Structure 1
Amino acid sequence: MFDYLIVGAGFAGSVLAERLASQLNKKVLIIDKRNHIAGNAYDHYNEDGILVHRYGPHIFHTNSRDVFDYLSQFTAWRPYEHRVLASVDGQEVPMPINLDTINKLYGLALTSFQVDDFFKSVAEEVSPISTSEDVVVSKVGRELYEKFFRNYTRKQWGMDPSELDKSVTSRVPVRTNRDDRYFTDTYQAMPLHGYTAMFERMLAHPNIKIMLNTDYHEILDIIPFKEIIYSGPVDEYFDFRYGKLPYRSLEFKHETLDKPLHLPSAVVNYPNEHAYTRVTEFKYLTGQVHPKTSLVYEYPQAEGDPYYPVPRPENAEVYTKYKKLADETPGVHFVGRLATYKYYNMDQVVAQALTLFKKLENKGKPEKVLGKVTLK
């Protein structure tokens, strides 16, 4: 008898498996449909011996000391600050837009103070700000919106930014200084030996059993367990009772070149040309020394593995119905991006999993409230 059946061996499932096994001595079975652990963060050495991320680049960054310290139990780190260029008007310029982006794009020599005035002069007043288009044009105006955001978003989401919630482009800042780092978080690093190696250490506990190539429907009536932790798509768990929640997917095309480096930075975005949105060169991320280099091209698509929940009001409405079902389902805990229909970064998923663990840890413990003993 397992204490917990955990569906999904990505960040959410693996963190909970490790905590429950190591801290509460629970017996855990973790399963995954795929033939590997680590979820979308899975990395491996390709046939040329280059460490690549199968499902596109995963860059770790967080402001949470707790999350960073937790993961540090299972990996050493390689300091890494991510930088991205965007191919616009025949030039490769820093993204997010900063002082150098504007100066290079327009052949100017503005200072930080002057570029702030420049943004104010081109920004459009929008009220209320409700769509992704509103967010960008209210910050940097229509022209920069067209050059950097509109077509990229159309490719990525299959919709115009005017049709998408403001959260999509709110994630990307605009800077008046020369800071060309994509993220500004306190902790920015890559697992020294890769993500898969980190997950292997996380799951290397005698109380944890792993089954791959396994759909949870196949084992529900065969293997005894007390509770479920579910990190798959919430609509699928409930047999699509309220319809299918829409996701965007990606097709990844990997390529190895017989040269040490190819791109001018780790990632180049292509808002306006090509069917792909961006190209990543893994050696920038990993620091690996190798005579060859490996790239991945990302082609957004409607069908395939679910990656990005589509942020539109009608989808949020459907998810609310599924969340009500989830909250009312005893003995099943929903966690992670797919189970909560929200685009989380890796560190946010780890934090969510650690929060759920605390809740499970405290379940049934006596707690004093106003002089009386109640159960949490």
Structure 2
Amino acid sequence: MAILVVGAGFAGTVLAERAAFAGKQVVVLDRRTHIAGNAYDHPDEHGVLVHRYGPHIFHTNAPHVADYLSRFTAWRDYEHRVLASVEGELYPIPINRITINRLYGMNLSEEEAAAYLDKVREPRDPIRTSEDVVLSSVGRDLCDKFFRNYTRKQWGMDLSELAALVAARIPTRSNDDDRYFTDSFQKMPRDGFTRMFQNMLDHPNIRVELGTDFKEVDRSHFEHIFYSGPIDEYFDHRFGKLPYRSLSFQHEHLQDQQQFQPVGTVNYPNDFAFTRITEFKHLTGQTHTGTSIVREYPQAEGDPYYPVPSEQNQQLYKQYQALADAETSTTFVGRLAQYRYLNMDQVVAQALVVAERHGLGSVREPEPAGSAA
């Protein structure tokens, strides 16, 4: 009997590749008409490589994850930088010494910038909400200028209504490091994410069926199911729907314009209905006479992107988790199946652990013959 993998994003594709490499026959389903999940990229009608579902930047501190994916792609160096548009000017985000000096017309050293942040922060004890996190980190003025309204657009909620873990992911620096991430491995797949996924799924033991819904499949034909879709959907929303925040993407091509903005992404915390604009040529290094950008508009309805972190939603998820734990023939893996935000490398690492637990091999095994480079 074959193994069924539901979802052709990172979680499902890693498990499919590992299972195939271990000699299993694998069927991969995805209701979308393409592989690679939200990391899907493709040339737009003008020939610019774009990310359909917003920017995906690969970064990790896990060497085994980088080594594993390197079997299926070559890389190009890329360190993501983000600016925030505040009062008509662009400032580095995460907040650093340059941000503070430019915003307030100061010339602080690193030590003085650290002292300034100590002075303006508003310690909160206990830390319960994202507002507590931000105020205790950067104080009220920086909070209101860079975070409060961005959060309101992104989540449809105020910082004071959001769980602390949302803002806990945002660092603050007193030095001049303007990289958005500080991971030891920061690169982009040289030929794009979709090509990397194609290489991972290019195995005689793998059959991919796109535009296919899991509900339409006879599960009795499979010895095991790896499921990376929404956990509440698997159980027919028995306890009600788990809330997600969605996005609408407005793609635009600008002809005869080499560059639209100075960095890959510019955040708009206070102006406009969108939260950010990404220009893809920064990410890909592509040369083209024009450029392509995307604006992101958060919304309540649509494809599920971000689990809404609240105590009530976690309690609802735990009811579904109890059902999932009782399943013997299905393993739930990935963002949607676990109702939590995970970076791409975290999903890969998790899928590799799941594969090893199911006897599908270890990433310490030798590189498969004929793997892509």
User: Does the alignment reach a TM-score above 0.5?
Assistant: yes
TM-score under structure 1 length normalisation? 0.95
Q: CA deviation at 1:362?
A: 7.5
Helix, strand or coil at the partner of 1:339: helix
Helix, strand or coil for the counterpart of 2:248? strand
User: Quick one: distance in 1 between partners of 2:231 and 2:222?
Assistant: 20
Q: Give deviations 1:281-332, integer Å, cap 9, x for gaps.
A: 0000000000010000000000000000000001111111111110101100
- 3-state SS in 1 of match to 2:359: helix
Shift of 1:226: 1.2
- Once the 2 structures are TM-superposed, how far is the Cα of residue 220 of structure 1 from its aligned partner? 2.0
Q: 2:170 aligns with which of 169, 172, 175?
A: 172
- The residue that corresponds to 2:113 in the other structure is 115
Corresponding residue number in structure 2 for 1:237: 234
Give the 5 Å matches for 1:119-268: 119-220=117-218, 224-258=221-255, 259-268=257-266
1:19 maps to a residue whose letter is R
Tell me how far apart the structure 2 counterparts of residues 158 and 356 of structure 1 sit (CA, whole Å): 34
Q: Structure 1 regions of 5+ residues with no counterpart?
A: 364-376
Q: CA RMSD in A?
A: 1.0
> What displacement does 1:224 show?
1.6
CA distance in 2, matches of 1:362, 1:7: 17
- How many residues align structurally? 360
* Structure-2 residue corresponding to 1:55: 53
Alpha-carbon deviations, 1:201-228, whole Å to 9, x = none?
Answer: 000000000000000111226x721111
Consecutive unaligned residues of structure 2, counting only runs of 5 or more, are 362-373
Aligned-pair identity in percent equals 61
Give per-residue Cα distances to partners, 1:153-175, cap 9 Å, x unaligned.
Answer: 00000000111111111111000
Q: Classify the secondary structure of the residue corresponding to 1:211.
A: strand
* Aligned match for 1:322, one of 320, 323, 337: 320
Deviations 1:20-79 (A, max 9, x none): 101x20000000000000000000001100000000000000000010000000000000
1:27 aligns with 2:18: no
2:246 touches 2:298 (CA, 8 Å); kept in 1? yes
1:210-249 per-position Cα deviation (integer Å, ceiling 9, x unaligned): 000000111226x721111100000000011111100000
Indicate if the aligned counterparts of 2:245 and 2:305 stay in contact, CA closer than 8 A.
Answer: yes
Deviation at 1:89, TM superposition (A): 1.7
Give the 4+ runs in structure 1 shifted more than 2 A: none
Match of 1:14 in 2: 13
Rounded Cα–Cα distance in structure 1 between residues aligned with 2:312 and 2:55: 30
Cα deviations by residue, 1:3-27 (Å, 9 ceiling, x for unpaired): x1110000000000000101x2000
Equivalents in 1 of 2:10, 2:321: separation in Å?
21
Aligned-partner Cα distance in 1 for 2:216–2:321: 24
Deviations 1:147-202 (A, max 9, x none): 00000000000000111111111111000000000000010000000000000000
- Corresponding residue number in structure 2 for 1:300: 298
Counterpart residue number, 1:270: 268
In structure 1, distance between residues paired with 2:360 and 2:12: 19
- AA in 1 matched with 2:280: F
